[in-house]
Copies of this chain bind each other. A is one copy, B any other.
Amino acid sequence: MVEEEILLQQLFEEEKLTDKQKKILLAAIDTFSEKGYAATSTSEIAKKAGVAEGTIFRHYKTKKELLVSIVTPLISKVFGPFIVKDFHKVLDQPFENAEDFLRATIENRREVFKKLLPVIKIIMQEIPFQPELREQFVEQVAKKTYERILVVIQDYQDKGQIIDMPPASVARLAVSSIFGYLISRYIFFPESEWDDEIETERTVHFILHGIGKK
């Protein structure tokens, strides 16, 4: 968890949070991710954060606002294919071939997934039930990120590197493969032994060539 906390700490630093606020957020992330939002009590968060229950409500008017404050600033970071600032590089000096691009994307996403695992669990759990989050998600991911992915796909289609399936379907299939890998890796079977280099290669190969022989 150390690595994860460092990343979160940095993100919090950017938002100028006080020490207590950071403690509250970390405790909330921990507990929400472990037991689910609805099954987590604010008193539990307070205890884990080492603050009084009232302190939580001084910073976040409601329990839901606390959830939103955690998830909102992280949605694009988790589901954007590269962190925004890096994305322009991809377009400006694009990877020569789709294979390198895929490999880099998977590795980049894997890093983010690993570091933000608890928040990712929260996002996945709560998006179905929290309209605010869903809206954020649609805005950030389905609109911004998705459009960029389509551009990249079309780019490689133009270069003749990937087949002429509609970009939306290509995106769906590739993204499923990548997230399928990450979810298996970090959520379903985190305790298995994983050789990440090999699995990344297999995933890249699968996305490009499938499992059919010849």
Q: Interface-forming stretch among A8-16, A19-27, A82-90, A165-173? A: A165-173
Beyond A38-B38, A210-B209, whether A180 also contacts B176 by CB under 8 A is yes
Q: Interface-forming stretch among A44-52, A70-78, A105-113, A121-129? A: A121-129
Chain B CB within 8 A of A208 CB: yes
Which positions in A face B, CB cutoff 8 Å? 35-36, 38-39, 98-99, 121, 125, 128-129, 160-163, 165, 169-170, 172-177, 179-181, 184, 187, 199, 202-203, 205-213
The number of times this chain is found in the oligomer is 4
Q: List the 3 closest pairs (A to B, CB-CB), nearest first.
A: A176-B180, A208-B212, A38-B38
A176 to B176, alpha carbons, bound, how many Å? Answer: 6
| Cβ–Cβ contact B39 & A213, under 8 A | no
Chain A binding surface, main DSSP class:
helix
| Cβ–Cβ contact B213 & A210, under 8 A | no
| Cβ–Cβ contact A169 & B129, under 8 A | no
Contacts A165-B211, A208-B212 aside, 18 further interface pairs with beta carbons under 8 A come to A35-B129, A38-B39, A98-B212, A128-B187, A160-B213, A162-B211, A162-B213, A163-B211, A170-B211, A173-B180, A173-B181, A173-B203, A176-B177, A177-B180, A205-B210, A206-B210, A208-B210, A210-B210
A177 CB to nearest B CB, Å: 6
A44 to B209, alpha carbons, bound, how many Å? Answer: 50
A49 CB to nearest B CB, Å: 20
User: Which residues of B lie under 8 Å from residue A129 when comparing CB positions?
Assistant: 35-36, 39
| Cβ–Cβ contact B161 & A213, under 8 A | yes
